[in-house]
A = this chain, B = another copy of it.
C-alpha cells in the first residue's frame, strides 16, 4: 500500500524544492523591480493597481469588498483600511448595497480609472522589460500552464481510479 493518506511528513523531491525556491525568489525579485519602477514614476504600489483594475472590470466598475478580497487575495481588515485611504484620495467611493445594509459597493471613480490607466503605461512597460524580454510567447504559455496546475485543486484524483474495479 504505497499511497497511504495519513499525515506522515513527506520530504519533497529535489526538483520540487528547487522549483518552489525559484518560484518564491523570482516573484519577489520581479515584484521588487516592478515596484521600484512604479515608485520611481511616483505611483502607489501594485496592490492599488490590482484593486483599481479589478474594480474597473467589475459590473459598472463596482464590487463588494468581499469580492475584492477574493480577487486580489487581501485580508479583510487590510482591505477595509486600504479602501479608507483610496477613498481619501478620491480613487474609489463607497456606496450602499441595495437590499443588504451590511454590505457595500465599492465604485471606482473617474480619477481611479485615470490612475489605473496612467499606471499601466509604467507597469506594462516593466512587464515587457522584465518578463516579455526574457520569454517567448510559447514559453510564457508553458509557464502559465504549469502555474495553473499549482492553483488547481486536487480534482478528486482520477489517477488510479481505474484500478478500483467496481
Q: A residues within 8 Å of B by Cβ?
A: 9-13, 15-20, 22-32, 46, 73, 121-122, 124-125, 127-135, 137-144, 146-152, 154
Contacts and interface: CB of A to CB of B under 8 A. Distances in A.
Contacts of A143: 19, 22-23, 143, 146-147
Contacts of A144: 15, 18-19, 22
A128 B23 contact: no
B151 A29 contact: yes
Considering residues A125, A133, A134, which has the most beta carbons from chain B within 10 angstroms of its beta carbon?
A134
6 contacts: A9-B128, A24-B46, A26-B151, A131-B150, A135-B149, A146-B146
Interface of A is mostly: helix
B154 A149 contact: no
Contacts of A22: 143-144, 147-148, 151
B135 A19 contact: yes
B73 A25 contact: yes
A124 to B, nearest CB: 6
B25 A30 contact: no
Contacts of A23: 23, 26-27, 30, 143, 147
Given A18-B144, A142-B146, 10 more contacts: A9-B124, A9-B125, A13-B132, A15-B140, A16-B135, A22-B144, A23-B143, A24-B31, A29-B151, A134-B149
